[in-house]
Structure 1
Amino acid sequence: MYKKILLCFDGSREGRLALREGARLAQITGAAVILLAVVETGAGSALAHAADVGALAQQQTDFKEILDEGYRRLSGMGLSPEVHMEFGDPVAKITQVANAIGADLVVIGHHQQGFWTRWMSRSVAAGLGDTLGCSLLLAQKVVEDSELFHND
Structure 2
Amino acid sequence: MYRRIVLAYDSTKAGRAALREGALLAKRCGAKVFLLSVLAESGGLALAEGAHVGAAHGHLEAYRAVLDEGLRKLEMLGLDSTGALVRGEPAQQIGDYARKVRADLVVVGHRKRSLLERWWSGANGAYIVDNLDCSLLVARSDISDQDFEAEFSKAAQHVNA
Alignment TM-score > 0.5, same fold: yes
Paired amino acid for 1:147 = E
Aligned-pair distance for 1:119? Answer: 2.4
Equivalent position of 1:19 in the other structure: 19
Residue deviations 1:56-110 (CA, integer Å, cap 9, x gap): 1011110111011101111121102101111111111111110011100100100
Q: How does 1:1-152 map to 2 (within 5 A)?
A: 1-42=1-42, 50-51=50-51, 53-143=53-143, 144=147, 145-150=149-154, 151-152=157-158
Pick the structure with more helix per residue.
Answer: 2
RMSD: 2.1
TM-aligned CA deviation for residue 43 of structure 1: 7.5
Mark the runs of 5 or more structure 2 residues left unpaired by the alignment. Answer: none
The alpha-carbon deviation at position 121 of structure 1 amounts to 2.0
When residues 100 and 123 of structure 1 are mapped into structure 2, their CA distance, relative to the original with a 3 A threshold, is same
Give structure 1 stretches of 5+ with no counterpart: none
- Give the match's secondary structure for 2:10: coil
How far does residue 53 in structure 1 lie from its aligned partner after superposition?
Answer: 3.9
User: 3-state SS of the aligned residue for 1:39?
Assistant: strand
User: Which aligned segments of 4 or more residues in structure 1 are displaced greater than 6 angstroms?
Assistant: none
Which moved further from structure 2: 72-81 or 34-43? 34-43
Q: Alpha carbons of 1:18 and 1:48: their partners in 2 closer, same or farther (altered >3 Å)?
A: closer
Indicate how the Cα distance of structure 1 residues 141 and 48 shifts in structure 2: closer, same or farther if over 3 A, else same: closer
In structure 2, do the counterparts of structure 1 residues 115 and 35 end up closer, same or farther at CA, with 3 Å as the change threshold?
same
Letter in 1 for 2:122: R
SS in 1 for 2:54: helix
After alignment, is 116-125 or 133-142 more displaced?
A: 116-125
Deviation at 1:137, TM superposition (A): 0.8
Query: For residues 135 and 6 of structure 2, what CA distance do their matches in structure 1 show?
Result: 10
Aligned CA distance change for structure 1 residues 107 and 56 (closer, same or farther; 3 Å): same
Q: Distance in 2 between matches of 1:43 and 1:98?
A: 26
Give 1:127 shift: 1.6
